[in-house]
Structure formats: structure tokens, C-alpha cells
Structure 1
Amino acid sequence: MDYDDAYANAEYIPNAADYPPRWAAAAQAFRDALSAAGRARLNLSYGPTDRQAVDLFFPDGQATGLLVFVHGGYWRRFGRQEWSHFATGALDSGWAVAMPGYDLCPDVSIAQITGQVAHAIAMVADKVPGPIRLAGHSAGGHLVARMANVLPGAVRDRVERVMPISPVADLRPLLLTKMNDDFRMDADAAAAESPVLTPRPQMPVTVWVGGDERPVFLDQARWLADAWGASCVVEAGKHHFDVIDGLRDPKSEMMKTLLG
């Protein structure tokens, strides 16, 4: 198997290059609108670098609880600012939404990113009372799966559901990709950061993946669901870039599952 090709997404998605600028433009318009309405608290610092910050959005009225969405990008790309508009579905359902940023490889290790995200969630959990739901996409799916075991106990006890979307749940195959030049993992590090090798969490977990994704992502989703005894939803007709579109629609099956 050519592992670099197997884990490549953009090369197999029509007009893939159009997605990042479209996400960025929609996210900026969303932040501008929520800021003008007094419903956004941006750049809440939780650590010493600029990327260690959280954007927090509020619904119109008292929040039912807190959804945390962790972005992807193979731990090497993007930031919290490109994804703000994906808070729409939860906000329209009456939930506050936090979107943490984090430092990227190769400046830090994946294990350090895991620690940063845990720190960010603990910080923002103090600002919004009530239940917590976690969702993350791709590398973010890996990170929210890791949160099921690494969050501080008082915060973890508030987490009512975790939804890894198209996650990388077993990092060991990535040792065979060129991306590992940035990850700098050895076998022990990859195993330690692989959710499939961690204890089954106490809270409910739903793994979500697109039916048109690369075969390895369908495998990764199934591996995590099997390891944790979790449900796995394969959404027909969705690829790696549009599988998260359901987050924008409060009536989508994704949002009903995540917040219901």
C-alpha cells in the first residue's frame, strides 16, 4: 500500500482547492455577525502562544450547554478561524460553541497538541455551565477521542457525548507516510496517541464518517467504533470535506445525534 496516497484526501475530492477559501470567507462573515450581535468572545487565551486561544459563541438566550468543536488539518494546517460558521447548528439549537486553536506540527508533537486541547476545554468549561458535547473532524476527531480519557475528571464528568467525525483513531499507519517528517513519531508515540488503544470511555460515543471517503478513513472509523463498542454512522454521499456540513443545520441527523 502507498500510505501517502491512502491518506490523501484532496486529490480525490472534486474542486478540493475551493473548500478552504470558501470556509475562511464564510467563517469571517459569521464572526463579524456574531461579534456585532454581542454573541462572540474571540481570542480567549489559554496558553503562551497566539494559537493557544479559543473562540466562544453564544446562542440567542440562555445556553443549554457547551459544544466544543476541534478542527482538523492533519495536526499541521488550519486554525480555529476557518471553521466558525460550523457553529450554526448548535447555536440555533440553543447551545454555546467553543472552537479551540492549537499549535501545529512540527513546532509541537501530537501529544503536546492533545494536552493543549485538554487545557483549552477545561478553561472554557468554566465559562459555560451545563452539559458538554465534543465533536471534532479528522485530526480533530482524533483529538476529541483522546479527550474522552485525558480531560480532568470534573470536566469529563460533564461530557455527555463525543462525536469523532472521520477520525484518525490509529496513528501507527502514519509512521509510513511522509507526514511523519513533521510528526516525528516513533512506534511508542504513535501507539500512545492512538484512541483505539486507550480504554473505552464512560460517556456515549458516536463515530461519524462519510460514505464516499477514502477507504482508510472508513477503516479508521470502524476500528474506533469496534474498539470502544461505539455506534458508527456512515453518511451516504459525503466525502472528507463535506461530511461536516451537517454541523450547520440544527435539523440534520448529525446534530440530532450530537445534541439529542
Structure 2
Amino acid sequence: MRYDDAFANAKYIINGANFPHRWTEAAMAFRAACGDRARLGLTYGDAPAEWFDLFLPEGEPQGLAVFIHGGFWRAFGPRDFSHLASGAVDRGWACALPGYTLAPEARISQITRQMARALPRIADQVAGPIVLTGHSAGGHLAARLGNIGAPLDPDITARLRRIVPISPLSVLSPLIETGMNADLRLDRAEARSESPALLPRRPGVKAHVWVGGAERPAFLDQARRLGNAWTCPVTIDPGRHHFDVIEGLESPETPLMRALLG
């Protein structure tokens, strides 16, 4: 298909195929280290994938960070990325990682609605401001929730302070011309209605787009298009590729964490 290679990542990253195993091991170790500060498998709906894990800091949380995982809406789950909560937790924030139904069982518009339904249930657990982030397809979902017209509960919009999409998919029409669309089932109408860069940002919600400097050109373009459309900063993280650009979430005082939490 025309755009298959444009969105291929692993074959352009040295030892790219090893990253999922590394993520899983780091995630398991983090969950074990959290002990009773990990609240695992909390539900927000009746579907099998409608659950989230919540990690709490020592003491009263300063607020709530939510990380939405990637995988082109077709792969992975929250527990592949538990360790990415560590930077927020070390800063005194709670961090939640929600699951969602993967394609082809769900379309992207359905997944967007799942994330919108998840946020009130997650927010019930922690008081204070909310910040959203996500990577790749999760970056798309975080950004999509920042659009005017996204189906967010008014109580959530009142608490939502900042969105930091990491390597987001922001204009979805090129994905129609990829092999993965056999699972995504995108048509032109859904691609437009689910493209964050084609829809205005919600007033009062700050945004900062993050992308690796060594990523595929298509991901750099997608990040810039969102930043231009939303008139918000775009940081191109030098030397970072699509799989290691998220590592800044693991430590409390990285530039990425400062962009997310201030």
C-alpha cells in the first residue's frame, strides 16, 4: 500500500523488535515496586478492555496524569507501559493507564468514546488538575480528547489543564492507504472526524506536542501539523526515535515531564 513504509517504525530502529519485551519487563518491575500504591484492574465499563491501572505517589496526589498507550489502535495494553507512570508518581502525581478495545473489534471513533467514558471514572479516584498524554495512537487519542466537541464530561473539562501528545497521529487520511486499514476500517468521513489537527483545540486547555528527532518523516510531519493547527509548541527531541521518545516519562525532571506537569 502507498503509505505502509511511511508509518513503519521497527525496521528503521536498531533492535527495534526488542523494545516490546523491554517495555514489558520494565512495566512488571515497576508494578511490583509500587506495592499497595498500585490499584490494578479498576473498571470503567462492561467491555473486557474497559479497565485501568492507577499508580499513587507517597502522600496526597498533586493531580492526575493519564497516559494512553499506542500500537496503531491494534496492539499492546496498559500493562506494557506501567513504568511510564514513574516520572509522574515521583513528582507527586497519580498516574492512570486506561485500556481500550483494539481494532478490528473497535473502530477509532469508538475507541475515542471509550477514552472519554474512562476519564470520569479515573478522575473519581484523584482530586485536582488533570493532564493527558499518550504515545503514537495514544497520542492521537489524547489530542482527540482536547478537541472542541470531544464527548467529555463537563466536570472533566473543568479540571483538564494540559495535553502533551507524543508522536501523535493527527491527520488520519494517509492511513486509509495502508495495509493496517484492513483492521482500522477507516473511511474518509471517519478519518476527517477523528483527525485532531483538523479540529479546533478546546479553549483553556494548554497543549505541547512532542516528537523524536530521529523518527520517520511521516511522524515528524504529523506532529508539526498538529502543532501548527493548534498554535502550540512542538518539541523535536534530538536523537530520539519512535520507540525511545517515551522514555522521558520515566524520570521526574526530564524536559518531557516538565512539559507535561510544568
The alpha-carbon deviation at position 26 of structure 1 amounts to 1.0
Query: Is 1:5 aligned to 2:10, yes or no?
Result: no
Opposite residue 10 of structure 1, the aligned amino acid is A
CA shift for structure 1 position 201: 2.0
The match for 1:15 is 15
CA drift at 1:197 = 1.2
Query: In structure 2, what is the Cα distance between the partners aligned to 1:108 and 1:208?
Result: 27
Q: Determine the structure 1 residue equivalent to 2:248.
A: 246
Q: Deviations over 1:206-244 (max 9, x none)?
A: 000000000000000000001111110000000000000
Moved more, 216-225 or 154-163: 154-163
Q: Is 1:224 matched with 2:222?
A: no
Q: Write the distance in 2 (CA, Å) between the matches of 1:39 and 1:256.
A: 23
Task: Give the gaps of 5 or more residues in structure 2.
Answer: none
1:62 aligned residue (54, 60, 63):
60
CA RMSD after TM alignment: 1.0
Residue 122 of structure 2 corresponds to which residue in structure 1? 124
Aligned-pair distance for 1:165? Answer: 0.2
Q: What SS is found at the alignment partner of 1:127?
A: coil
Give runs of ≥4 in structure 1 deviating > 6 Å.
none
Deviation of the 1:204 alpha carbon? 0.7
Deviation of 1:108 (Å): 0.7
Distance across 2 between alignment mates of 1:146 and 1:153: 16
Deviation string 1:151-204 (CA, Å, 9 cap, x unpaired) is 222201211110000000000110111111101111001101000111222211
What's the secondary structure of 1:148's corresponding residue?
Answer: coil
1:65-104 alignment to 2 at 5 Å?
Answer: 65-104=63-102
CA distance in 1, matches of 2:185, 2:114: 18
What's the counterpart of residue 199 of structure 2? 198
Shift of the alpha carbon at 1:2? 3.5
User: Residue type matched to 2:206 in 1?
Assistant: P
1:29-178 counterparts in 2 under 5 A? Answer: 29-34=29-34, 36=35, 38-149=36-147, 150=150, 151-178=152-179
| CA–CA separation in structure 1 for the residues paired with 2:127 and 2:121 | 12
Give the secondary structure class of the aligned counterpart of 1:157: helix
Alpha-carbon distance in structure 1 between the residues aligned to 2:2 and 2:14:
21
- Unpaired runs of 5+ residues, structure 1, are none
2:40 aligned counterpart, secondary structure? strand
SS at match of 1:113: helix
1-structure distance, mates of 2:241, 2:157 = 31
- Contact kept? 1:201, 1:228, Cα under 8 Å: no
CA apart distance, 1:103: 0.5
- Does the 8 Å contact 1:76/1:106 carry over to 2? yes
Report the secondary structure of 1:2's partner residue: coil
The alpha carbon displacement at 1:127 in A equals 1.2
The whole-number CA distance in structure 2 between the counterparts of 1:54 and 1:118 is 13
- The residue aligned with 2:190 is 189
Q: Distance in 2 between matches of 1:23 and 1:234?
A: 23
Q: Deviation of residue 49 (structure 1)?
A: 2.2
Task: Give the drift of 1:57.
Answer: 0.5
Contact 1:141 1:167 (8 Å CA) reproduced: yes
TM-score by length of 2: 0.97
How far apart, CA to CA, are the structure 1 residues paired with 2:121 and 2:260?
22
> TM-score with structure 1 length normalisation?
0.97
> Are the aligned partners of 1:221 and 1:232 in contact in 2 as well (CA < 8 Å)?
yes
Percent of counterpart pairs with the same letter? 53
